[in-house]
Amino acid sequence: MQYFEVQDQSLIWRGAGETLVITPWGSDSLRVRSALQHDVEDTRYALLESTEGRSAIQIREEEAAEITCGRLTCRITMDSWHHYGRLAFYNQKGELLLQETSPANALCLRARKFEPYLGGDYHLTLTFDGQEGERLYGMGQYQEEILDWKGCTLELAHRNSQASVPFVISSRGYGLLWHNPAIGNVSFGVNRTTWEAQSTRQLDYWITCGDTPAEISKHYALATGFAPMMPEYGLGFWQCKLRYWNQEQLLEVAREYVRRGVRVNVIVIDFFHWPRMGDFRFDPEFFPDPAAMVKELKSMGIELMVSIWPQISLNSENYQEMRQQGLLVRAEYGEQIGMRFVEDSMFFDPTNPRARKYVWEKVRRNYYDDGIRVFWLDEAEPEYGSYDFRNYRYYLGSNQQIGNLFPQMYARTFYEGMREAGQENPVNLLRCAWAGSQRYGALVWSGDIMSRWEDFRRQICAGLNMGAAGIPWWTTDIGGFHDGWVDSPEFRELLIRWFQWGCYCPVMRLHGDRKPTQRVYRKNGEEVLPSGADNEIWSYGPEACGIFMHYLSRREEMRPYVRELMRQAHEEGLPLMRAMWYAFPKDPLCAELKDQYMFGPDYLVAPVLAPGLREREVYLPLGTWRNVDTGEILKGGQRITAPAPLERMPVFARQT
């Protein structure tokens, strides 16, 4: 009986209606696909064309075969009882990296379980054995103060401040991409790991191995794309608030920064600068001459970033045409409304190439042609009013099957349009990402988080895991988004500590909905969306302003260093924020450190993450380290108590 066959460089196993195909997909990497009652499909949700990697295939006997690509080998064995092909992966040393769960004789388990929806597709689970002592990192951004996901269950779905990027790096020396944009879950249990897609047509994942996390990151970037080179304006300070609501207000803030001798690289116009959501243009009452505004900002060396929302108001001038042309997401039941905020609206469908073209042409005509080169692509999850994932359908399929693609396709809409317009390295700010988003110039920020210490601590883990998941461009609202009161001493301390940390983030951006709220009116007396309180560096008193100025100067001094880190991200796929386990994988004390990290190879950053602290414990790995503020030289391989007065955050430079 023939179970195995070879086709091109792929190893194929067939059994009981299942077709399992294992294909070399890059250096030391394999792609695994399985389908029930049909051939596997070559969907490219995140994976690019494989340009490297050749296989060696050996069918050793009737019930065993293996395929090798570089240092990675997949072995298929079949038990004599169930005749079910079980996969196991090994590195070049013959060490087991990962293996599917056994059928377990009388238990009759299926590692690859296709549970049918009658008349439709499948609920899919894939189960691997748990590995004792394994640590698992990456997976994107979750609002948890957790770095190692072993023992955790994660939702494979996007929400405001949650970005599911299903690439995980194991301490055992492999990386795995769940190449499926379906809504689901993953459970990294002690006894087993289970991946789940609520509705799908096939199993599809990609696995690689490497001797270091950096090797695994490069393999992943080769498979899914590298971030572009960050433009020069991405290296410095970005000024933002909710919200500069008129042209003169924005320009006066920019002029004041110039008067104070502070270099601002980007200033931002936030949401509801438009007449209606989905009009994709400035409201002429508040922004009468956008081209002149952009020109004056550029004369000061400042780029203007403008917020774009994917919602189309039912009252927008574009709604009827977009609905008639099928360019909107469709609700399966009930009203065609995806979100109710200020206006009832529905999201445009970025999985539809005609919708991408339509939206970009509006943006090009009304923003890009006036000189705007950076866009803030908000609401990128998208933020449905109730996150009822079953109730929406896209051009590419149901939300259940492909919904996690939305932020990647949203980024693609603008990246491709800007590239076609001649822009070399587009960068746009998004509130979400999926696998492959990095190749479309996506700079992700961590969403509408609270201005609280616990949220601050969570962002350290979020940023480190986003970097491990292949998204090197990442940032936060410095100070958090919600409920930061300008005159509160408690908030000012939090903001100072957050600002210090922001200096050592990939992008340094000040933003937030500061309190008290400022009401805004049209000339005719109609009230429109309010603005938050002032959020410039001088808004928080002279002590805070002096500290902010110091760290802005430091960021400018670090510009050549940050530029080099951006080059490493672009060419090597390396994150800028590197967890201690990532930078020192052989040091067991670094495995669980979640409150300090490396900013590139040279700077160990130890944020102050609780109120009132004026010192903190820091672990220095082996080597020699210099305190960048005091100049003190310290030997590594020890824990120290570092001084942390309010005006300074502990940072240590690695000495050669």
Q: What is the pLDDT of residue 514?
A: 98
- Cis peptide preceding 382, ω within 30 of 0: yes
Name the active-site residue from 18, 448, 493, 556: 448
> Is 448 a catalytic site residue?
yes
Q: Where are the beta strands (DSSP E) in 293-357?
A: 303-308, 311-313, 330-331, 339-341, 343-347
pLDDT, tens only, 312-331: 999 999 999 999 999 999 99
Q: Strand, helix or coil at 319?
A: helix
pLDDT, tens only, 292-301: 999 999 999 9
The CATH homologous superfamily of the domain defined by 237-309+349-387+395-577 = Glycosidases (3.20.20.80)
Q: What is the pLDDT of residue 54?
A: 72
What lies within 8 Å, CB to CB, of 42 at 6+ separation is: none
> Is 378 a catalytic site residue?
yes
Q: Are residues 330 and 385 in contact, defined by beta-carbon separation less than 8 angstroms?
A: no
Q: What is the pLDDT of residue 118?
A: 84
Q: What is the pLDDT of residue 53?
A: 65
* Beta strands 10-15; 4-7: pairing state: antiparallel
- Single-letter code of the amino acid located at 287: F
Segment (H or E) for 420:
helix 406-420
| DSSP per-residue letters across 518-573 | EEEE-TTS-EEEEE----STTTT-HHHHHHHHHHHHHHHHTHHHHHHHHHHHHHH-
Q: Where are the domains of the chain?
A: 4-224, 237-309+349-387+395-577, 578-655
What lies within 8 Å, CB to CB, of 47 at 6+ separation is: 25, 31, 177, 179, 206, 223, 224, 436
- Model's pTM, two decimal places? 0.97
Q: What is the CATH number of domain 4-224?
A: 2.60.40.1760
Q: What is the pLDDT of residue 656?
A: 83
- The tokens 């408690």 sit on which residue? 490
**How far is the C-alpha of 318 from the C-alpha of 348, rounded, in Å?**
11
Q: What are phi and psi of 578, to 5 degrees?
A: -120, 120
Report residues of the chain scoring pLDDT below 70. 52-53, 61
Alpha carbon 189 to its chain's center: 24
Q: Strand, helix or coil at 196?
A: strand
Q: Are residues 314 and 340 in contact, defined by beta-carbon separation less than 8 angstroms?
A: no
Exposed, middle or buried, 60 (CB in 10 Å: 0-12/13-18/19+)? exposed
578-655: CATH topology is Immunoglobulin-like (2.60.40)
Name the active-site residue from 121, 378, 455, 513: 378
Q: What is the pLDDT of residue 79?
A: 82
Structure tokens at 653: 């430079």
> Is 42 a catalytic site residue?
no
Q: What is the pLDDT of residue 239?
A: 98
**How far is the C-alpha of 335 from the C-alpha of 267, rounded, in Å?**
38
Alpha helices of 301-352 — where are they, by DSSP H?
319-324
Q: Angle formed by the axes of helices 213-224 and 559-572, to 10°?
A: 70
Do 237-309+349-387+395-577 and 578-655 come out as alike in CATH topology?
no
CA dihedral 504, 510, 511, 514 (to 10 degrees): 120
Alpha carbon 615 to its chain's center: 32
Name the active-site residue from 100, 381, 595, 629: 381
